[in-house]
A and B are shown apart, each in its own frame.
Chain A
Amino acid sequence: MMEFQPGEERGKDGRRIIKVRKEDLVSTLSKLKSEGYIHLSLITGVDRKDFIEVVYHLHSFERNEYISVKTVTYNSEVPSVTSLWKSADWEEREEYDLVGIRFIGHPNLKRLFLPENWVGHPLRKDYDLKNVQYINVDEEGEDYATFDPGDGW
Chain B
Amino acid sequence: MKTGDPGILTTTLEKALEWGRSNSLWPLTFGLACCAIEMMAIQASKVDISRFGSEIFRNSPRQSDLMIVSGTVTKKMAPRVKRLYDEMPYPKYVIAMGVCVIQGGPYVEGYSVVLGVDRVIPVDVYVPGCPPTPEALTYGLMTLQKKIRGEATR
Contacts and interface: CB of A to CB of B under 8 A. Distances in A.
Interface stretch (A14-22, A40-48, A127-135): A127-135
Contacts of B114: 153
B79 interface: yes
Contact of B111 (A122, A136, A137, A143): A122
A74 interface: no
B76 A135 contact: yes
Contacts of A122: 111-112
A152 B74 CA distance: 12
A134 B73 CA distance: 13
Chain B interface extent, by class: 10 to 19
A97 to B, nearest CB: 12
Chain A interface extent, by class: 10 to 19
A136 B114 CA distance: 12
Interface string B47-89: 0000000000000000000000000000110110010000000
Nearest to B83: A137
A108 to B, nearest CB: 20
Given A153-B119, A153-B120, A129 B79 contact: no
Interface in A132-147: 132-137, 143
A59 to B, nearest CB: 27
A125 to B, nearest CB: 13
B75 A127 contact: no
Given A153-B119, A153-B120, A135 B111 contact: no
B111 A153 contact: no
Interface string B13-51: 000000000000000000000000000000000000000
Nearest to B112: A122
A114 B75 CA distance: 10
B30 to A, nearest CB: 17
A147 to B, nearest CB: 13
Contacts of A136: 79
Nearest to B119: A153
B123 to A, nearest CB: 14
From A135, A136, A143, A152, name the one whose CB has the most chain B CB atoms within 10 angstroms: A135
Contacts of A153: 75, 78-79, 82, 114, 119-120
B111 A113 contact: no
Interface string B92-114: 00000000000000000101101
- The 9 A-B pairs at the shortest CB distance, nearest first, are namely A153-B78, A135-B75, A137-B79, A122-B111, A153-B114, A135-B76, A153-B120, A153-B75, A136-B79
8 contacts: A127-B111, A133-B111, A134-B75, A135-B75, A136-B79, A143-B76, A143-B79, A153-B114
